[in-house]
Structure 1
Amino acid sequence: MKNKFQKYVYVLMFLSFFTGSAQEITPVPASIYENIEIEMPKVSLVSFPSLVVSIKDYGAVEGGFEKNTKAIEKAIYEVSKKGGGTVKIPRGIWLTGPITLRSNINLHLEDGALLLFSKDFNDYPLVDTSFEGLNTTRCTSPINALSAVNIAITGKGVIDGNGDAWRPVKKGKMTASQWSKLVASGGVLSEDGKIWFPSESSKKGFESRDYFNVPNISSKKGLEAVKDFLRPVMVSLVKCDKVLLDGPTFQNSPAWNIHPLMSSNIIIRNLNIRNPWYSQNGDGLDLESCHNVLIYNNTFDVGDDAICFKSGKDKDGRNRGISTENVIVKNNTVYHAHGGFVIGSEMSGGVKNVHVSNCNFIGTDVGLRFKSTRGRGGVVENIYISNINMINIPTDAIRFNMFYSGNSPILEENQSAEDEARDENKVAVTEETPAFRNIYMKNIIATNSGKAAFFMGLPEKSLENVSLENAILEAEEGITVIDTRGLKLKNVKVISKKTEALTIYNSQDITVDAFTFSENEKAVVKVLGTQSANINLKKSDFKNSEKQVVIAKLLAKETVSFQE
């Protein structure tokens, strides 16, 4: 019996030498599905066969000097061919070109593993894809998958996209010594000397576009000539189902960091997502036209928006017609970012049925950010946000902007507030008119902000049915409401240092109940514009309403009513 037992142990040891040990996939905690305001489907979790291989078994060489593209590709191919399993990246530095994930593959990075992507642009051929919501052509993403099922990236290692090799950098975002070092490293400067490009091809691409980062070039020859400008997102998962990202640090991406597109049953958890604060288009997570998603226990510190929901841009997005919906976002922390939680501006396919709760935004430019513009179309609705803590938000703790044209929340050197100035003139409501409605926020605390909240719809299409309940907002400026219908403020305290606590302009059906405020030399509520109507305040909230509530002379006194 003893000999048989020993023989059994030796067999197990022999197998484990070649296969390693299978990586357990932790179930989703029941708490993630608790206290959700709308019915959400359970997200399918990945599972993998017990086969585990190391990339070293396929000839990979650590150290960061030799590319391991072929070894990693072979490991993934062989494991997929055998029905799936785990491809292990051991501790060490592993240089590689693009990695394509196949169905039933778990790419697992051990603690201490650094997967470093090559900065040789020739490793990344052009492919047809979508970027910034448009059908376009970009360089192949460092990690990519198309129509794969049951895939994962797990472990405690680091994935580095070598993004500094790709990204243009604006002089105003660096110190003098950083800028001098960057210029001395090579590359070329813009004509005015204020933007550094990694190559002449990158500069040429920048000069060829009219708007954002998609050049006005369609020919293959023309695109090849500006190839260096066509920065890829680091992780591109297109039309995939059953996806798990769990554990690693994703950093230094060429453009957006993680971009699930037209995919479903996605779990994104326990990630550390980082980009330098100066990184152009250095978003953390852009979830686009995806269904059934969980995003929890992640940390973001990035150069652009952190957690951003999209669904295509303008005609391309409307033709795609795939919304982002059924998403739960919980227990995330965001440090530097243009926005903590963001919807838009590319939302032409719609965003709906979203729950966001228990998140901290620490120093993000904007806290809760909603953005769109005429021409987008699409509907954003049924968004539930609760238990959000924000501190040191330099601009708006909450911001709805329907005149977004690409400005950073904190204006950069080449940007002007006039670029996104409100247009008083109404235009026809068509399929190109964006709609934001039925958005509910409660238990919100923001301290030391630039502005408490900014709600702005379109003159022809109001921001509709937004609710803010149980909030404490400390800011230099109070709440501004423009072209909004059906706004409800309940149990909201505004500590405004410089302006009125609440300014309402051309808005209707506004209800304010249990409103408290700090005293300054300004009035508390100001109602302006010729279109404002049916503003309902609680009488008990104002000790001296004649002085505390100011109504524009052009408006009838009945515009504002005081309820008992």
Structure 2
Amino acid sequence: MKFTIQAVFKRSVTIECDNQTICYAPEEYSVLLDGEERARSTLNVLTVDGLQPDSDYTLSLRTEDGEETQSFHTEAESVLLDVRSFGAHGDGETDDTIYLQAAISACPKDGTVYVPAGTYLSRPLFLKSYMSLWLDEGAVLKGDPDRNHYPLMPGMTKTTDGTCEYNLASWEGNPETSFASLISAIGAEHVDIVGRGHIDGGGAEGDWWQNPKVMRTAWRPNTIFLNHCRHVRLQSITVKNSPSWTVHPYYTDHIGVYNITIWNPSDSPNTDGFDPESCDDILILGTKISVGDDCIALKSGKYYMSQNHHKISDHFTIRNSFLERGHGSVTVGSEAAGGVINVEVAQCIFDGTDRGLRIKTRRGRGPETRYDGVYFHDIIMKDVHMPFTFNMFYFCDPDGHSDYVQNQSFHPVDDKTPTIGTIRAENITCTGADACMLVAYGLPERYIENIVLKNIKVDFLPKSERKPRQTIMMDHFPEMSGRAIYARNVKRLTLENVEITGSDDTEPVLQDVLDYDSVHVSIN
């Protein structure tokens, strides 16, 4: 079986099978390291650990049809620092913050801070450049539940000469004071967080999820916050129970995410899984996310950040991953005033989320708010209520229910009018749909430009098992059940080889769709 070595670390390697199947390989394979079998798997993405730094290895995948072998060399490591040597107890009761931070602060270039099995109660920690944080199997980094033990991170501070701003925190697209995250990296380069251990944000133990939209001293922290960093990699770790967004890369470029797990309770508020904001070059492979809000949400800030610190979010690849529960499997927006472009999501399984591909924006985001080049293909959606929703009247903001945002009449295009460009989806199978297959609602003054759906098969739940649902978060828009296709204010809609079974419709419901092209479309 052919494969690609996607990432080599100091003590581990991640590979991806080269095939077109979704998440799983066509057959079970054996993984051999230097000729010795190390694992058997059916997953398309696999991590092999237990390696030594600065060493040569050969790795083979063997099936009944043959064997494919590649060689690699692990990264060098200057030193391995065990946090217990610095005084960490790992008993789950002692505050281990100073011992953990001492090991991080003492770590030299290309060194590794090693966290062995145990539960390490901690307040916020700050990583630095050219280091690895390794949480071994059985290790749990547990966030202190008391918000009074968390330092405040100011949103914006004027530089001494008054010419610019220093940005340390963000809350839902604005630079507002927030509590420090359990793990932060600020302006760091070449940082790895690896291992089979767990990072527990402590959301369930503290009062983080109480009155979640009320600022109490500061806004809720993330579990991992990567602020203005470069070359950051996450591998194998489990991140869970986040106070708010779980992993939040912010103005951070060149991120690799390999085989990690993100888990939050389904009723935990605004606990998005992975939210890159104003980032460039993100690769997510073999990852499993199950949370209380959007699994993955691509963002680029609100109006202030777009106008004063503009950075478009660009080059996203999400592949061979499992996205479960949550409001949306992969979402673009809504805090994306800087724009989001060039997004490819492929060979993934969406299971039990409210929405599959979810795009959301609204008036007020600004002229740089352009979502374009969004491409979804080769995806299985299981029990996803609404496979595709595109909404330009999103109401979740302090002024989200205002007449300016929600009025469905024509407004003159101004410097706060957003744009949705081309969205393509093909080779997608959906079973257990509920409310709708597609709802697309553009602005009357700026239509959604181009939607292409090709080779799509959707089976709805039986009518007795469905219930009306809110498809798009927009005022005065009715709940839906069994709706096949509803599109309004769209320049061009193309349907090719689309088969919808079990809906209440027999034809698409189209209003102000300027160019509609359909080939082999069946709705019943």
Q: TM-score range by the shorter chain?
A: 0.7 to 0.9
Relative to 1, partners in 2 of residues 1:46 and 1:423: Cα closer, same or farther, differing over 3 Å?
farther
Amino acid at match of 2:254: N
Superposed CA deviations along residues 74-113 of structure 1, whole A, max 9, x for unmatched, are 1111113xx2311011011111111100111110011111
SS in 2 for 1:136: coil
User: Post-superposition shift, 1:393?
Assistant: 1.9
CA change 1:503–1:167 in 2 (3 A) is farther
* Aligned partner of residue 325 in structure 2, secondary structure: coil
SS at match of 1:465: strand
Aligned to 2:233: 244
**Alignment pair present for 1:26 and 2:13:** yes
Q: Are 2:130 and 1:115 aligned?
A: no
Pick aligned residue for 2:193 from 153, 170, 173:
153
CA distance in 2, matches of 1:420, 1:493: 38
SS at match of 2:343: strand
In structure 2, what is the equivalent of residue 504 of structure 1?
Answer: 510
Preserved contact between residue 10 and residue 75 of structure 2 (Cα < 8 Å)? no
Kindly indicate whether residue 91 of structure 2 is the aligned counterpart of residue 63 of structure 1: yes
Match in the other structure for 2:283: 294
Aligned: 1:51 with 2:79: yes
Residue 106 (1) aligns with residue 159 (2): no
| Matching residue of 2:35 | none
- Tell me, yes or no, if the aligned pair for 2:136 and 2:196 is still in contact at 8 Å: yes
Q: For residue 355 of structure 1, give the secondary structure of its aligned residue in structure 2.
A: strand
Tell me the residue number matched to 2:246. Answer: 257
- Match for residue 381 of structure 1 among 367, 372, 375: 372
Find the counterpart in structure 1 of residue 483 from structure 2.
477
Higher mean C-alpha displacement, 421-430 vs 234-243: 421-430
1:278 and 1:351 map into 2 onto residues whose CA distance is 28
**Counterpart check, 1:513 vs 2:513:** no
The aligned residue for residue 438 of structure 2 is: 453
Q: Given the alignment of the two structures, is residue 75 of structure 1 paired with residue 115 of structure 2, yes or no?
A: no
- Does the CA contact (< 8 Å) of 2:145 and 2:207 recur in 1? no
| Contact 1:46 1:243 (8 Å CA) reproduced | no
Percent pairwise identity = 32
The residue correspondences of 1:272-283 to structure 2 (distance < 5 A) are: 272-283=261-272
Residues 173-322 of structure 1 mapped to structure 2, 5 A cutoff? 197=210, 226-227=216-217, 230-322=219-311
> In structure 2, do the counterparts of structure 1 residues 245 and 97 end up closer, same or farther at CA, with 3 Å as the change threshold?
same
What are the Cα deviations for residues 274-304 of structure 1, in whole angstroms up to 9, with x where unaligned?
0011111111000111111101100011000
**Structure 2 vs 1, CA of residues 483 and 166 (structure 1 numbering), >3 Å: closer, same or farther?**
farther
Q: Which has the higher strand share?
A: 2
Q: Is the 8 A contact 1:312 1:320 kept in 2?
A: no
Which of 162, 165, 181 in structure 2 is aligned with 1:141? 181
Residues 7-29 of structure 1, C-alpha deviations (whole Å, 9 max, x = no match): xxxxxxxxxxxxxxx94242664
User: 1:341 offset after TM fit, Å?
Assistant: 0.7
User: Unmatched 5+ residue regions in structure 2?
Assistant: 1-8, 22-72, 155-168, 461-481
Structure-1 separation of matches of 2:419 and 2:458: 26
CA offset at residue 417 of structure 1?
A: 11
TM-aligned CA distance change 1:142 to 1:354, over 3 Å: same
| Secondary structure of the corresponding residue to residue 369 of structure 1 | strand
- Structure with bigger helix share is 1
- Structure showing greater radius of gyration is 1
Contact 1:154 1:248 in 2 (8 A): yes
How far apart are residue 498 of structure 1 and its match? 1.8
Q: Provide the rounded CA distance (Å) in 1 between the counterparts of 2:132 and 2:19.
A: 23
Query: Residue 105 of structure 1 contacts residue 152 of structure 1 at CA under 8 Å; is this kept in 2?
Result: yes
After superposition, the Cα gap between the structure-2 partners of 1:311 and 1:31, relative to the gap in structure 1 and judged at 3 Å, is farther
Q: Contact 1:46–1:152 (CA<8 Å) still a contact in 2? A: no
Task: Provide, for residues 326-374 of structure 1, a one-character-per-residue CA deviation record: whole Å limited to 9, x for no partner.
Answer: 1111011112110001100011001111111011111101111000111
Helix, strand or coil at the partner of 2:204:
helix
Q: Which residue pairs with 2:321 in the alignment?
A: 332
Distance 1:474 1:33 in 2: 23
Task: State the one-letter code of the partner of 1:74.
Answer: A
Q: Secondary structure at the match of 1:315?
A: helix
Partner of 1:392: 383
**Structure 1 CA distance, aligned partners of 2:355 and 2:457?**
16
For the residue of structure 2 that corresponds to 1:486, the secondary structure is strand
Residue-pair matches, total? 426
Q: Are the counterparts in 1 of residues 286 and 321 from structure 2 also a CA contact under 8 Å? A: yes
Distance 1:76 1:375 in 2: 42
Give the residue type in structure 1 aligned to 2:411. Answer: V
With over 3 angstroms needed to count, the CA separation of the structure-2 counterparts of 1:263 and 1:28, relative to structure 1, is farther
CA distance in 2, matches of 1:290, 1:455: 26
**1:432-467 C-alpha deviation (Å, 9 max, x unpaired):** 111111111101111121211111111000011111
TM-score, structure 2 normalization: 0.77
**Change beyond 3 A, Cα 1:125–1:457:** same
Return the TM-score normalized by structure 1. Answer: 0.72
Identify if the C-alpha distance between structure 1 residues 168 and 114 changes in structure 2 by more than 3 Å, giving closer, same or farther: closer
CA pair 86-292 structure 1, distance change in 2 beyond 3 A: same
Change (3 A) 1:55 1:168: closer
For 1:420 and 1:365, the matched residues in 2 are separated by 27
Go from structure 1 to structure 2 and tell me whether the alpha carbon gap of 1:146 and 1:467 turns closer, same or farther (over 3 Å shift): same
The DSSP-based 3-state class of the residue aligned with 2:308 is helix
- Alpha-carbon distance between aligned partners in 1 of 2:266 and 2:338, rounded to the nearest angstrom: 29
Query: Aligned partners of 1:420 and 1:329: how far apart in 2?
Result: 35
Q: Which amino acid aligns with 1:307?
A: I
Distance, in Å, in 2 between the alignment partners of 1:331 and 1:517 is 30
Match of 2:38 in 1: none
TM-aligned CA deviation for residue 406 of structure 1: 2.1
In structure 2, C-alpha distance between the alignment counterparts of 1:353 and 1:32, rounded to whole Å = 22
